[in-house]
Structure formats: structure tokens, C-alpha cells
Amino acid sequence: MNFKDKKILITGAARGLGKAIAIAFAERGGHVAIHYNTSETEAIQTLKELPGENHLTIQGDLQDANKIKYLVKNVEKQFGRIDILVNNAAVIKYHPFVDVDYEEWQNAWNETITVNLLAAANLSYCAALVMKKNGGGRIVNVSSRGAFRGEPDMPAYGASKAGMNAMSQSLAQALGKWNIFVGAVAPGFIETDRVAPILNGERGEAIRNQSPLGRVALPEEVARGVLFLAAEGTEFMTGAILDINGASYLRS
């Protein structure tokens, strides 16, 4: 896959999966805008690790719709265009029904839906306007197997990713006539620093054994799925949701 001179905006790219996606695009010639909110130090370090040149970091609170609009305009100003948007940023809030009060329940839902779904919708809208006037582009959304199997300890997360899937398919239908293609990847657990405490804890072995491969995904494996959907030649896969969970959850 060749992304030479493609201009790519990746949200939540300072660390973890977002960082792996940024490196994968940069290795193939892309110019990457690394979005972050509070992880400035990590974003700068990721920038230093990217091969190639003409990359940048950009800060933005995705809970603020006006800042999202400014963020996209700023990337367009610096890059001249946006060819690919990867909606990777997400929050995970544990809020089991029996363990939280009503205020905690509301806060978990409000923040999760705002960052995971509404921000992705707003970013897609703003980026699609840029893509439309430049002849097209790609939007790849990072969903989750939790959209299909349910997430009893963090129902807002599962709901936000189910909404992202529906949004991806709706946008694929709405934007295809402008050569803007939309897809999603739906991974299970990924071996990142954010989930390391869980994988190294008492639940780790059971989680790994959910897959017949006896492990969870590497960030680089999920990144390859993102690049696949963003690559030229996959246009007729617009609207697709690509499972990357090691057969830990199979949907019909």
C-alpha cells in the first residue's frame, strides 16, 4: 500500500493504536497530523518517531464542536488538503449498573457518546467538506467488537461504537457520489499501554483465551486493517465493517 504524499489526520494518535496507525501511514509515504488532547509530551515523542517528514501535531478537545471545526481547518491550512481521516480517539468509562449512582451514570454516558460518537460525526462532517472540494477522500472509523457483543460494564462504550458503525454506513451512502469512501474496523482487545493493567491482571489469561490464537491483537495488526480500508482499490468496500478480533467474537 502506497500513501505517498497523502495528507492524513488521525485523532488520538499520541499513543497506543493511534500511534501505530500514524507510524504505518508515515512508513508508506504519508504526511500525518497527530491529534491529541492532553498527551502533548507523548504526541511530540510520536512525531519524532515518524519516518519521513512534513508531519505535525495538533491539539484539540473533541468534546467541543467549535474546536473540532478549528482543528480541521488548521490541518487543511497546514497540509493544503485532507485525504484521509481516521477517527481513532475514544474514551472508556467503566460504569456497571450496580456500582454507580445516577450522576456517575449520566456523566459516563455523556462523555462517552460525546467523544466516541458525536466528535467522530463532527470530524467526518468537517473533513468531508474539505475532501469534497478536493475530489474525494477516505474516512476510517475505529469501532469495536463491543458494538456487536455488548459491554455490560461499560454500556455507553458499546452503544457509542454501535452508533459509529451505523454512522459509517450512512455516510458511505451519503458521500460516495463525491468519491468519499467510509469504512470501519472493529477490533477486540489490543495490546496497548492503556489495557496493559487489565491484560497483566487476573483477567488477562481469560481475555487472551477468548481467541483461539491465545492472545490479543497487536496495534500494528489493527493498523493494517485501517490502511487497507484507506488504500486505493478498496472503493467498493465502502460501508464495510472489518472485524479484527482473532475470532474472539463471530457475528452472523
**41 CB-near residues (< 8 Å, 6+ apart):** none
**117 CB-near residues (< 8 Å, 6+ apart):** 160, 163, 164, 167
Which residue's entry shows cell 457509542? 160
Question: Within 10 A of 154 (CB to CB), how many other CB atoms are there?
Answer: 18
Question: Within 10 A of 42 (CB to CB), how many other CB atoms are there?
Answer: 19
Distance CA 76, CA 127 (A): 9
Least Cα distance to 189 among 243, 241, 251, 145 occurs for: 145
157 is catalytic: yes
Question: Within 10 A of 164 (CB to CB), how many other CB atoms are there?
Answer: 25
- The two counts, helices (H) then strands (E), for the chain are 10, 7
Active-site annotation holder among 36, 94, 157, 249: 157
Report, as residue numbers or ranges, the catalytic residues.
157
